[in-house]
Chain A
Amino acid sequence: MKNCIRERRETLGWSQTELADRLDVSRQTIHAIETGKYDPSLPLAFKLARLFGAAIETLFDDRPN
């Protein structure tokens, strides 16, 4: 699934480690989500959405290219 987590994070000037700390996950988890190799669970997706102050569907896009 495509997502704009990296762009949102970089807009806020956070490193992967900072974002990981705020979400209580590992840096590798953030890296895996940003590269689209791992789709987060619904609770983690909600945490991300809450943190960025955005709706889940604006962060993740499940439509094919």
Chain B
Amino acid sequence: MEDVKGEPGVIELKNVSKLYDGSNEVALEKMSLEVGQGEFLFLVGPSGAGKSTLIKLLFREQLPTEGVINFENKDITKYRKRDILEYRRRIGMIFQDYKLIKQKTVFENVAFALEVLGHSPMSIQKKVTEALDKVGLSHKATSFPRELSGGEQQRVGVARAIVKDPVLILADEPTGNLDRDNALQLMQLLEKINDEGTTMIIATHAWDLVDRMQKRVISLAGGKLKRDEKGGYSDE
């Protein structure tokens, strides 16, 4: 496996399997994977291939049935409540449905990620302004999510993820609700953020974007790893 930036692994999966309660089908089977610092990685595959399950495991929203998931050489499956909070504070998450808080303005939605961390108002002001600037939404700071287009809302989601300078960003179908142009813009934005050193793991169906970006692609089918190489969506 090619370790793109040659840094030590941020994420390491060893023989990870996931079986949902009351289901005989394995969502993930004996999956092993290493993701280096600063890598840009696509998780692709048909629906039910295990992409979302993998993202949920990495976000520590679910626990694997067996196996080890290391983050910076510590097994996150062994984390206690306190550790999970700390872990989530160090990683950014981008959702298909944006998950913005409707009652909060764009600025407040982004600021929120830092308020949780107990940053001072001054530091919040500075960092949020920078993050909104980076995603090109400074002029919408006082708008509410309902006043924004889908593409803009997702960029707020990205700003919220990057504002705390995360080591790793997990994205579950981030372009799923966006049109082609907005989707492409978003991917370019994520690539720019990756260039600054943030590791990116993106689960997606958007084969055209994956083809275009030419990054490392992990292809899953039926819960198993089918392909792991740099290139396009399919192996032809």
Pair from one complex: no
